[in-house]
């Protein structure tokens, strides 16, 4: 069934993969985006008659009210993403990541469904040997984590919503980001052949950006069964420390070297093993392995030779 879908932030890293995927499924897609990075990531979509673009701010009530008109589904991707960016613009982080979600809830009709991406950095520091499930306490440390977790709670309490708690995303996108961990390490492995890592024993989970898009499409198809709940979205076999990630990259690029040093810290303190069993029980399985992503990134970074694609 063809749906009329609004994607806020649809020209971002995830949206630039998700938007064409939704169009390919036969849906009508309207993207609301501020194009804060001057990206041209959706140019290929413009020939599709089912694609509409609104250049605007997800915090502006008039713009959002008009964008919501006639929509069946809202996919609320618009956000300031990452702890460093949110710390740099704390007002923007709060108004975009949280207040804009409250505005959506104020303006949407009860029939309009919402799909939302949270971050599993909301789990903060996990307990050794205890995987984080959707029932685990949320203890976000950074402003980024706090705003995303509060927005998720507001959405799920209001109803007619699904939240996906995303692992650290990797892979190529037309609106590329080099500041994500796997993307960053592979970029350094290709161009510098080395990296200095801190908190190398910290473990986190990973997921390919195309599998994130697939998870949203799965949520559209199974909304009635999945609504009102949060789901971890990651690779079950990819709960890896930073050192283990470097070792995996080294298998593809043997000349890559890494050094551990006490030179920094993760502002989100992400150190946890995550269980993705719940979304697997809901019928979703990722298609792209970590090794698939590393091979893809190596090819992509033969093309990309600068850092204009990062959020910070």
**pLDDT tens for the 312 residues of the chain, in order:** 899 999 999 999 999 999 999 999 999 999 999 999 999 999 999 999 999 999 999 999 999 999 999 999 999 999 999 999 999 999 999 999 999 999 999 999 999 999 999 999 889 877 777 899 999 999 998 999 999 999 999 999 998 999 999 999 999 999 999 999 999 999 999 999 999 998 888 899 999 999 999 999 999 999 999 999 999 999 999 999 999 999 999 999 999 999 988 876 766 677 889 999 999 999 999 999 999 999 999 999 999 887 666 665
- DSSP category for residue 127: P
pTM recorded for the entire structure:
0.95
Q: Give domain 4-171+205-235+274-287's CATH number out of 3.40.50.300, 3.40.50.720, 3.90.1150.110, 2.40.110.10.
A: 3.40.50.720
């Amino acid at each position: 069934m063809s749906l009329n879908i609004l994607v806020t932030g649809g020209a971002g890293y995830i949206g630039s993969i998700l938007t064409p995927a939704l169009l390919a499924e036969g849906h009508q897609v309207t993207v609301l985006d501020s194009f804060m990075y001057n990206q041209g990531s959706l140019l290929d979509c413009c020939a599709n008659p089912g694609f509409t673009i609104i250049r605007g701010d997800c915090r502006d009530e008039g713009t959002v009210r008009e964008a919501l008109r006639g929509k069946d589904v809202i996919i609320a991707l618009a956000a300031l993403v990452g702890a460093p960016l949110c710390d740099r613009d704390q007002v923007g982080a709060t108004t975009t990541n949280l207040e804009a979600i409250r505005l959506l809830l104020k303006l949407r009709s009860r029939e309009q469904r919402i799909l939302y991406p949270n971050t599993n950095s909301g789990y903060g520091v996990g307990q050794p040997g205890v995987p984080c499930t959707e029932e685990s306490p949320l203890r976000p440390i950074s402003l980024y984590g706090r705003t995303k977790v509060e927005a998720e709670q507001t959405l799920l309490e209001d109803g007619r919503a699904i939240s996906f708690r995303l692992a650290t995303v990797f892979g190529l996108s037309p609106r590329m980001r080099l500041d994500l961990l796997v993307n960053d390490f592979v970029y350094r492995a290709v161009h510098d052949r080395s990296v200095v890592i801190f908190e190398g024993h910290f473990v986190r989970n990973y997921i390919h950006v195309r599998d994130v898009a697939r998870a949203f499409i799965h949520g559209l198809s199974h909304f009635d069964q999945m609504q009102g709940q949060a789901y971890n979205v990651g690779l079950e076999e990819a709960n890896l420390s930073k050192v283990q990630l470097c070792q995996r990259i080294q298998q593809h690029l043997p000349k890559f070297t890494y050094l551990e040093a006490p030179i920094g810290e993760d502002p989100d303190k992400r150190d946890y093993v995550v269980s993705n069993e719940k979304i697997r029980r809901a019928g979703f399985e990722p298609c792209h392995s970590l090794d698939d992503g590393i091979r893809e990134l190596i090819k992509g970074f033969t093309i990309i030779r600068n850092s204009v694609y990062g959020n910070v």
